[in-house]
Amino acid sequence: MFSAIARIFRTPDLRRKIGFTLGIIALYRLGSFVPTPFVDFENVQKCLAQNQGTQGLYELVNLFSGGALLQLSIFALGIMPYITASIITQLLRVVIPHFETLHKEGQAGQSKLTQYTRYLTIFLGVLQSTTLITVARSGALFGTNSSAECSSLITDDTWYAVLLMVITMTAGTGLIMWMGELITEKGIGNGMSLLIFTSIAATFPSSLWAIQQSHGFETFLLVLAIGIVIVIAVVFIEQSQRRIPVQYAKRMVGRRTYGGNSTYIPIKVNMAGVIPIIFASSLLYLPALIAQFNQPAAGQEPAAWVTWITTYLTKGDHPLYMALYFLLIVGFTYFYVAITFNPEEVADNMKKYGGFIPGIRAGRPTADYLDYVLTRVTLPGSLYLGLIALIPLIALATVGANQNFPFGGASILIIVGVGLETVKQIDSQLQQRHYEGLLR
């Protein structure tokens, strides 16, 4: 293992790529602590200290921004607008035929879709930065029961100051998007994924230290032990796949014989990745967000529906919240897999190139068989995602460490998934140069 790591740094090209990637990551983390103009940095830090572990509605976005959201930094929005834009663009392929046509056009079509994603990212950046600044001006960023410091986070709320803050945060989003593409082009690994990985991994030390301070050294060791078990289980399931054998018939083209080889179609247990958890979290945040903006004036009783939402849909340790969260993840897993994997398209491509599944006729029977396998493989995958997502909520119900429990939900899936993919890329680079990779 150590000899393989030494080979990495002895390879000039690979060493340069890793150095470039680490440099971009360092700049990204630095920007997470640079405050936006007209933000009272001292008040923000006081509010963060007072409300540690109670991030409320903005937990997911704050996680993906590496804590920059609640600091109102220039990178406050993080990579979230790009993630949302990518998901929307992917879903629009089902609704807009032009998008599906571009997807099938190869590299030129993918470039066009990427350009649309960039435009949508900037639009979402403007929208989300405006919303964030509006919430910060109203004093509700850290909740309605926050101290006086949390109600005066903005030093100047004139229109030109607000406009400058929106432009700064949106420009920060565009800069992050550009940095991610630079890593993909000149560094190692997928740039956007690595930036998300960095944001989440940056919160791990502080989260573990907060558990040690609030619950003692025994609970800290217990959390570490549980975390190691969870990581091992996630690695095992993320690598699991159902391999459907495919045989290609021999065919003569001129005097040459093509085909005759065999391969397989890998269907992963978790084909949807972390997307269903993001969908479910966003959908469950909507009622709480609506209720937050419908709080009554001082001395008045809140409406019945606001009270019901506040009681049942804003507390992660409530059984109804957990049940809805789990069911939404299972449903969104099937929905997303159905969109991203088209059995009929795969069957048509196989038939076009003379491929067939042994024992299954080409064409429609192949599509039905692929759909049959996909539906049954997705079931354990959806249950696995639901259980992983419930781990922080169970931690909240048992030891009260929801926000400080890093081994669960979207965070652990992204950490493990990106880590595995990056190690594989480094391994392939080493194999090209030394005939022996990082993994054995």
What would the CATH number be for the domain defined by 204-440? Answer: 1.10.3370.10
**Treating both helix axes as pointing N-terminal to C-terminal, what angle do 2-10 and 409-434 enclose, rounded to 10 degrees?**
70
Q: To which CATH superfamily is domain 32-187 assigned?
A: SecY subunit domain (1.10.3370.10)
The pTM score is 0.79
CATH 1.10.3370.10 in the chain, residues?
32-187, 204-440
- Mean pLDDT over residues 115-129, rounded? 92
Range in 109-118, 199-208, 376-385 with the lowest mean pLDDT = 199-208
- Mean pLDDT over residues 57-69, rounded? 65
Tell me what pLDDT residue 297 has: 60
Contact 66, 194 (CB under 8 A): no
DSSP conformation letters of 52-103: TT--GGGHHHHHHTTT-TTTTBTTTTTTHHHHHHHHHHHHHHHH-HHHHHHH
Round to whole Å and give the CA distance between 87 and 107.
19
Which class for 423: exposed (0-12), middle (13-18), buried (19 or more C-beta within 10 A)? middle
* Residue found by looking up tokens 């529906």 in the block: 305
Tell me what pLDDT residue 123 has: 93
> 295 Cβ partners below 8 Å, 6+ apart?
144, 302, 306
Read off the pLDDT of residues 386-403 as tens digits, 9 standing for 90 and up.
888 888 777 666 665 555
Computed over every residue of the chain, the mean pLDDT equals 80
Tell me what pLDDT residue 172 has: 92
Contact 249, 260 (CB under 8 A): yes
Report the percent of the chain where pLDDT is more than 90.
15
Tell me what pLDDT residue 188 has: 86
Top pLDDT among 395 and 232 is at 232
What 3-state DSSP class applies to 248?
Answer: strand
Contact 417, 274 (CB under 8 A): yes
